[in-house]
């Protein structure tokens, strides 16, 4: 039977994905129709990104699954018109990109690069940074991205604590969970990386109280999602020196408004949601594998638990 796959994402991506999906679906041995427009009641699978504009799945009466091109699914997980499985993106390229970005920004803080490289003020201060094993780094979220980043940091010798919802055992990483685990993880960490999803349970996970748990002068790196941080609390913590510096890639409102205090704050680095992105070549393989699984009645990869929101 012919499978109909609708591509509903940013139109500029279609010319990139069309040949890759065609190749992958052909390789999977499927008969298929692939395009950006079909009658909704003909569609079996939607390849989805929020900027494709699809909000109402009610007319998609024969839909078997929605396959997200994004790892973060906060904008669709609570869509009540969606009644079929939702798979999110776990992509090798996305993971490698995030690992490189996080390691780079941790090293910036660890080595004091701003002091010794960016500022060339003629003052000779021969204070070498400690070695990585003497630096406590914490990764909040030990999923596809958080675990890869935690492992990469541990492989460089950093003293890494990870925190997640459920208990984990990852060699070389102190894995904690639950509220006590969060307190313990934050209390010891000079550098905190946020790689949690945006859900009702993670909103404002960094707030006035939890920021105060950190050692004075700690640094925050947020490539997760904007709502993980209470912005007013972070600005207050930065202004009193409780937080030394923050590197923020994601925001409650994106693009970050030009008058937002983060832009002008001397101890904040803003990056424009570029920590990592889905890489079409590898992501198309993940999508095609999930269509193949759907047609073979095999379990989908990377299913979202919509009751948890991730
Ligand atoms: P995963 O779903 O694989 O991992 C999420 C992790 O967060 C899991 O370890 C999970 O715990 C943990 N978690 C979820 N809820 C809680 C909670 N209430 N308390 C403690 N831990 C919790 O996601 P990914 O690693 O693939 O991605 C993480 C996020 O990164 C995405 O949701 C997205 O928002 C962001 N992202 C940002 C990008 C960027 O360019 N800035 C690019 C791609 C993603 P457990 O393992 O126990 O379930």
As annotated, the active-site residues are 225, 273
According to DSSP, the residues that pair with 295 across neighbouring strands are: none
Question: Is 68 within 8 Å of 89 (Cβ atoms)?
Answer: yes
According to DSSP, the residues that pair with 218 across neighbouring strands are: 243
Cβ atoms < 10 Å from Cβ of 280: 18
Domains in the chain: ranges and CATH? 3-91+278-295 (3.40.50.720), 92-270 (3.40.50.720)
What would the pLDDT profile of 131-144 be if each residue is shown by its tens digit?
Answer: 999 999 999 999 99
Q: Which residue's alpha carbon is at the smallest distance from atom 44 of ligand 1?
A: 71
118 has pLDDT over 80: no
CB of residue 230 inside a 6 A radius of ligand 1: no
Q: Which residue's alpha carbon is at the smallest distance from atom 37 of ligand 1?
A: 224
Q: Which atom of ligand 1 is nearest to the CA of 275?
A: 40
CB of residue 146 inside a 6 A radius of ligand 1: yes
CB of residue 97 inside a 6 A radius of ligand 1: no
Strand 86-87: give its sheet, edge to edge.
Answer: 32-35, 3-8, 45-48, 65-68, 86-87
151 has pLDDT over 90: yes
pLDDT on residue 68: 98
pLDDT on residue 119: 67
- 168 φ, ψ (degrees, to nearest 5): -140, 160
Residue 136: alpha-carbon gap to chain centroid: 22
What would the pLDDT profile of 245-289 be if each residue is shown by its tens digit?
Answer: 999 999 999 999 999 999 999 999 999 999 999 999 999 999 999
Token pair for residue 234? 């972070």
Farthest CA pair distance, the chain: 73
CA 26 / ligand 1 centre spacing (Å)? 32
CB of residue 223 inside a 6 A radius of ligand 1: yes
48 has pLDDT over 80: yes
What would the pLDDT profile of 211-221 be if each residue is shown by its tens digit?
Answer: 999 999 999 99
CA 165 / ligand 1 centre spacing (Å)? 10
């Amino acid at each position: 039977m012919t499978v109909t796959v609708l591509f509903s994402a940013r139109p500029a991506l279609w010319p990139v994905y069309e040949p890759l999906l065609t190749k992958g679906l052909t390789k999977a041995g499927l008969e298929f129709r692939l395009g950006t427009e079909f009658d909704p009641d003909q569609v079996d699978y939607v390849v989805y990104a929020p900027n494709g504009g699809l909000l109402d799945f009610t007319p998609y009466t024969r839909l078997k699954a929605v396959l997200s091109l994004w790892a973060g699914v906060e904008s669709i997980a609570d869509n009540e018109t969606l009644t079929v499985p939702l798979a999110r993106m776990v992509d090798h390229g996305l993971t490698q990109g995030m690992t490189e970005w996080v390691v780079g920004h941790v090293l910036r803080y660890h080595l004091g690069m701003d002091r010794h490289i960016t500022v060339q003020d003629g003052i000779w201060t021969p204070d070498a940074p400690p070695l990585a094993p003497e630096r406590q780094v914490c990764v909040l979220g030990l999923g596809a991205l958080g675990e890869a980043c935690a492992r990469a940091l541990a492989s460089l010798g950093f003293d890494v604590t990870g925190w997640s919802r459920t208990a984990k055992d990852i060699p070389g990483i102190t894995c904690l969970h639950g509220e006590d685990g969060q307190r313990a993880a934050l209390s010891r960490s000079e550098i905190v990386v946020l790689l949690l999803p945006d859900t009702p349970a993670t909103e404002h996970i960094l707030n006035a109280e939890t920021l105060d748990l950190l050692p004075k002068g700690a640094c925050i790196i947020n490539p997760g999602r904007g709502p993980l941080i209470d912005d007013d609390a972070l600005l207050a913590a930065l202004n009193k020196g409780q937080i030394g510096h923050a590197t923020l890639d994601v925001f409650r409102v994106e693009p970050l408004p030009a008058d937002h205090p983060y832009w002008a704050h001397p101890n904040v680095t803003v990056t424009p949601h570029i920590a990592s992105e889905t890489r079409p070549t590898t992501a198309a393989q993940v999508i095609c594998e999930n269509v193949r699984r759907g047609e073979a009645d095999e379990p989908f990869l990377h299913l979202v638990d919509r009751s948890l929101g991730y």
